[in-house]
Structure 1
Amino acid sequence: MAIFDIKLPNRMAKALRLANGDVCKQQLRILKKLLHKARFTEFGQKYHFDNILMQPDPVKAFQQNVPIYNYSSIYKQWWHRSLENKPDVCWPGKVKYYALSSGTSDAASKYLPITNDLLQGNKLVMIKQLLSLRNYTDINVRSIGRGWLLLSGSTDLQKGIGHYLGDLSGITVKKSPFWFQPFYKPTKEIAREKDWNKKLEEIVDNAGDWDIGFIVGVPAWVQMCMEMVIEKYHLNNIHEIWPNLSYFVHGGVSFEPYKKGFNKLLGKPLTYIETYLASEGFIAYQNRQDACGGMRLVVSDHIFFEFVPFDDRNFTPDGDLVENPEILLAHQVSEGKDYALLISTPAGAWRYLLGDTIRFTDVSRSEIIISGRTKHFLSLVGEHLSVDNMNKAIQLAGEELDLPITEFTVSGEPHGSFFAHRWFVACDQPVDKPVLAAVIDKHLKALNDDYAVERKSALREIFVEVFPEETFLKFLEIRGKMGGQHKFPRVLKGGLLEAWKNF
């Protein structure tokens, strides 16, 4: 059964035929569609969506009338009412699903509304990404029609009052369309398993019965799964049991730090495909092989985007948005600059500060990379160290010293009258810590001018602590963050840093 030959529902097929056109017009169309559908909700009535739609410039009117929200403010003012089973709050009807997510912060779990309209939009983007494999020079059609192993959260969702709670990945699998069922692995029984360790064991036990062409998941958990399969069946590499495995679809964290250890598990190269699927919506996906790490922003589908330049004029030193920040649209951005994302979605998120920062690598193609988090960056003394800087430095240090560094995190701390960075690194090989610290420091100086300047001033020391990878995974386990979309935070601050120190 060739997946390219599947007959899709008419509504979905029509949406997929939309031509790529002017970004400004595409985004205006999406905003109008969102406003029109939500005009009779409580939110739409309060902010006069009908009136906004009648204005000569609906985008400008939307920005003037609707305030910017973060999770705390929109939940406190609006979303808690939907969670109490009230209809038509921020989106028409009742919200039947909520994704539980704490991201990589130390906050309590967030309850993010997941509507059928959002899931429908996400599915369209998933199909577009699948069809974009035609742009790859080494496409393996045979593998596309094989099994797809999704290392997702449990599909056995928690029952609330009129709704269900769970990981977005678990909700997505539970609501997956009929035409995808023949390809999906593991079995429905295994997918329902809530204990992540038991789920992995059951996947490993059944691995010999499956012909896997695609693996989808967070790199750390996929690597662990493959290692367990190789160990159980006494294999030299994963391709001895899954010879048709050709694609790894990943997201959530930079894959570069994992690639060295990942490749040791393979009998032949894989095609790596990056996605940006947040709990709030499908933001971007890699759609061509020569994208230089960039993913295509989904400007023509179901999300309206706004961009806040991530700089000192728009954000406080703690990463909080200032009042009246500069706001740009998709056709006004520049390459090479970091922007915080505001999104409006068909799940009732309106001008919602996602918390991620992105950087455009190709404006003409609307291609981006994830550069970090508004809160998860280090700037103790003005070094402005982004997650992207950290990922690249770890990658280069691992290559230079021939070390498979699978996880890392960083904290800032006082050092006498000055300051220091402390790196916690996962590596199962012997490491000369002072040498690793010096190499990381060297690459960061080359990557970040502000960092280089502050290393001559108030940022006096760089320390490295090395632990087995198991230590990092155990920490996630005791915090209930095993598997699914959970990943280790790249910067430790506040309560999360204290929990790590205590651990």
Structure 2
Amino acid sequence: MAFYGQIIKTLLETKHSLLPHAPADPEAAQEKQLNGLLEEAKNTAFGKFYNFQGILEQEDIREAFRKSVPIHDYNTINDRWWKQQRRNPDITWPGRPEFFALSSGTTGKKSKRIPVTDEMLACTQAVGRAQAECLANFKLPAEIFEKDILMLTSSADLNEKDGWLEGEISGINVSNMPDFMDSVYKPGIEIAQIADWDERVQRIAEEAPKWDVGALAGIPSWIVMMLRKVIEVNKLKNIHEIWPNLQIYTTGGVAFEPYRKSFEALLDHPIIIMDTYLASEGFFAFNARPETMAMEIALDHGMYFEFIPHDEDGFDATGQMLDKPKVVDFRDVKENKDYALLVSTPAGAWRYMIGDTIKFVDKEKMEIVITGRTKYWLNVVGSQLSEEKLNAAIAELNEQMGSEIKEFTVGAVPTEDGNDYYHQWVLGINDGELSEEKALEVLDAHLKKVNKNYKVAREKALKGVRVKVTQANNLYDFLEKKKNKKGGQIKFPKVMVADDLKQLLEFLD
């Protein structure tokens, strides 16, 4: 009998039933979070400049905050504030951050440095505990709470630089893991600190027989690559041969659905898959109940959220935010409408645009799904294709053709005369073959059927569709050559501008 596992399970179920993790009044909870953030930072340089004390004295602090503090992207807040925060205390948050998260994001350009304060680490851990408490909803056996948890992260070997430590956020989080996790965390800090990706995965594969893994966590592309290596090195048919108690996979970082077929092919039987929204800037949402991949947004954990409609009220046709976009808080969001996310956090991020788009699928349950990136908005000729619509088209292609498209990108390219455009798709398959002609027909027909704007565009300036099929590893090779990073370690861009597409096609040829 799993004695300790039963104790943990009982404690989780008791706390979950007696002390629900979700706020009974989410609107009031969000006002409380904003109030706490403003109080804490009112004497910082940022707080004095934007008169946080005056905002706190207003009847509606959410409206006053919206009117007083401008929207920031990374460049605007970094150039004016965060660069100072690296050298001086009390700039956007009290004190100086001990950590900075390096984020190359989707494009692999020069790394951003996102401050990670002690309060932000505590916030992230609080959201993690809330998700752990929600395991009570999944009716798991007691034994699972005694098994190892394998977290595949970026390197935990942080770099020291001018008085702070820096690395990718998953490496920072592992380096600050609570002590009670030491006995179950795998692969352990020694292996997690191996900087070279291939060497780290090789060591995991070699050590795998010593562990009894019950749960996995990591970006889907990383996890699939790692599981294949474990299976290869240990000469297995599937991963359950070596980890028979594996029952949970916590995904995040990118959409899971394009990887589902590849992932499930490595299992002997289905397991629970839970989604998370964990970014360099914070842990924003988590899957809280079975039978859905929607995530409960963390409205009561020290962060404040605002939302910009991802339509003509917030963005122009090229995906650029308007000078004066409409902005709403949780009180006024609508279900099934795309929004760009703004966050204010105890890292000293204020009205910061993450770059992701989300939609509420159940406002009462506070559940969202990530629908894409603000810049993954293919609308050059009015086709209005969001990342969610592009992912759905690829899913339809996989369903109809029995294919396994692991990565893809698409963009609008001018025709030879420069008067019109065509959409160029590049599809990275895992193995086998896929007819480019048939793929073109399926993608074009599906988008015409489900998206009236695309159908209209195809009758006007969008004069054609072209498809290039290649092995997914070739796309990763392109990223490694162009960005100097392993392909599985950065997000492959779902939408490319014409010049980047030309470079990719030349590389593939």
Q: TM-score, normalised by structure 2?
A: 0.93
Q: Distance in 2 between matches of 1:106 and 1:495?
A: 16
Q: Give the secondary-structure state (helix, strand or coil) at the position aligned to 1:331.
A: helix
Change beyond 3 A, Cα 1:272–1:411: same
User: Does the alignment pair 1:357 with 2:360?
Assistant: no
Q: Give the secondary-structure state (helix, strand or coil) at the position aligned to 2:97.
A: coil
Q: Distance in 2 between matches of 1:495 and 1:142?
A: 53
- AA partner of residue 181 (structure 1): D
Q: Which aligned pairs between 1:2-21 and structure 2 lie closer than 5 A?
A: 2=5, 5=8, 20-21=23-24
Q: Are the counterparts in 2 of residues 151 and 484 from structure 1 also a CA contact under 8 Å?
A: no
Q: Distance in 2 between matches of 1:467 and 1:486?
A: 19
Shift of 1:502: 5.4
Shift of 1:318: 2.6
Q: Are the counterparts in 1 of residues 314 and 322 from structure 2 also a CA contact under 8 Å?
A: yes
Q: Are the counterparts in 2 of residues 151 and 483 from structure 1 also a CA contact under 8 Å?
A: no
Q: Which aligned pairs between 1:405-484 and structure 2 lie closer than 5 A?
A: 405-416=405-416, 417-427=419-429, 428-478=431-481, 479-482=483-486
Range 279-288 or range 106-115, more displaced: 106-115
Change beyond 3 A, Cα 1:96–1:219: same
Q: Are the counterparts in 2 of residues 217 and 485 from structure 1 also a CA contact under 8 Å?
A: no
Shift of 1:185: 0.5
Change beyond 3 A, Cα 1:170–1:21: same
Q: Distance in 2 between matches of 1:315 and 1:348?
A: 25
Q: What corresponds to 2:236 in structure 1? A: 235
Q: What corresponds to 1:130 in structure 2? A: 132
Shift of 1:473: 2.4
Q: Are the counterparts in 1 of residues 107 and 492 from structure 2 also a CA contact under 8 Å?
A: no
Please give the per-residue CA displacement for 1:166-191, whole angstroms capped at 9, x wherever unaligned. Answer: 00000000000001111111122110
Q: Distance in 1 between matches of 2:103 and 2:332?
A: 31
Q: Are the counterparts in 1 of residues 408 and 427 from structure 2 also a CA contact under 8 Å?
A: yes
Aligned match for 1:44, one of 44, 47, 50: 47
Gaps of 5+ in 1: none
Aligned match for 2:104, one of 102, 105, 125: 102
Q: Are the counterparts in 2 of residues 167 and 485 from structure 1 also a CA contact under 8 Å?
A: no
Shift of 1:290: 2.6
Please give the per-residue CA displacement for 1:113-157, whole angstroms capped at 9, x wherever unaligned. Answer: 1111111111111111111111124x2432232111111011111
Please give the per-residue CA displacement for 1:475-502, whole angstroms capped at 9, x wherever unaligned. Answer: 3333243388632121122775465345
Q: Are the counterparts in 2 of residues 308 and 340 from structure 1 also a CA contact under 8 Å?
A: yes
Q: Give the secondary-structure state (helix, strand or coil) at the position aligned to 1:381.
A: coil
Q: Distance in 1 between matches of 2:366 and 2:137?
A: 17
Please give the per-residue CA displacement for 1:419-450, whole angstroms capped at 9, x wherever unaligned. Answer: 11111111111111110111122222233221
Q: Are the counterparts in 1 of residues 294 and 367 from structure 2 also a CA contact under 8 Å?
A: yes
Shift of 1:385: 0.5
Q: Are the counterparts in 2 of residues 118 and 346 from structure 1 also a CA contact under 8 Å?
A: yes
Q: What corresponds to 1:377 in structure 2? A: 377
Change beyond 3 A, Cα 1:332–1:414: same
Q: What corresponds to 2:322 in structure 1? A: 322
Aligned match for 1:23, one of 11, 21, 26: 26
User: Does the alignment pair 1:256 with 2:252?
Assistant: no
Q: Are the counterparts in 1 of residues 151 and 216 from structure 2 also a CA contact under 8 Å?
A: yes
Q: Distance in 2 between matches of 1:181 and 1:449?
A: 53
Q: Give the secondary-structure state (helix, strand or coil) at the position aligned to 1:364.
A: coil
User: Does the alignment pair 1:277 with 2:281?
Assistant: no
Q: What corresponds to 2:334 in structure 1? A: 334
Q: Distance in 2 between matches of 1:386 and 1:451?
A: 11
Q: Are the counterparts in 2 of residues 218 and 251 from structure 1 also a CA contact under 8 Å?
A: yes
Q: What corresponds to 1:500 in structure 2? A: 504
RMSD: 2.2
Gaps of 5+ in 2: none
- AA partner of residue 49 (structure 2): K
Change beyond 3 A, Cα 1:440–1:80: same
- AA partner of residue 234 (structure 2): Y
Q: Give the secondary-structure state (helix, strand or coil) at the position aligned to 1:220.
A: helix
Q: Distance in 2 between matches of 1:501 and 1:100?
A: 29
Q: Distance in 1 between matches of 2:93 and 2:328?
A: 25
Q: What corresponds to 2:170 in structure 1? A: 169
Percent of aligned pairs with the same amino acid? 39
Range 146-155 or range 479-488, more displaced: 479-488
Q: Distance in 1 between matches of 2:287 and 2:332?
A: 22
Range 463-472 or range 166-175, more displaced: 463-472
Q: Give the secondary-structure state (helix, strand or coil) at the position aligned to 2:182.
A: helix
Range 457-466 or range 431-440, more displaced: 457-466
Q: TM-score, normalised by structure 1?
A: 0.94
Shift of 1:474: 2.2
Q: What corresponds to 2:60 in structure 1? A: 57
Q: Give the secondary-structure state (helix, strand or coil) at the position aligned to 1:395.
A: helix
Q: Are the counterparts in 2 of residues 152 and 483 from structure 1 also a CA contact under 8 Å?
A: no
Q: Are the counterparts in 2 of residues 216 and 249 from structure 1 also a CA contact under 8 Å?
A: yes
Q: Are the counterparts in 2 of residues 196 and 483 from structure 1 also a CA contact under 8 Å?
A: no
Shift of 1:394: 0.7
Please give the per-residue CA displacement for 1:357-412, whole angstroms capped at 9, x wherever unaligned. Answer: 11111111111111111112211101110110111111121011111111111122
Change beyond 3 A, Cα 1:279–1:19: closer
Q: Distance in 2 between matches of 1:484 and 1:146?
A: 27
Q: Distance in 1 between matches of 2:479 and 2:207?
A: 26
Q: Are the counterparts in 2 of residues 6 and 179 from structure 1 also a CA contact under 8 Å?
A: no
Q: Distance in 2 between matches of 1:215 and 1:467?
A: 30
Range 200-209 or range 17-26, more displaced: 17-26
Shift of 1:203: 0.7
Q: What corresponds to 2:306 in structure 1? A: 306
Q: Give the secondary-structure state (helix, strand or coil) at the position aligned to 2:342.
A: strand
Q: Give the secondary-structure state (helix, strand or coil) at the position aligned to 2:135.
A: helix
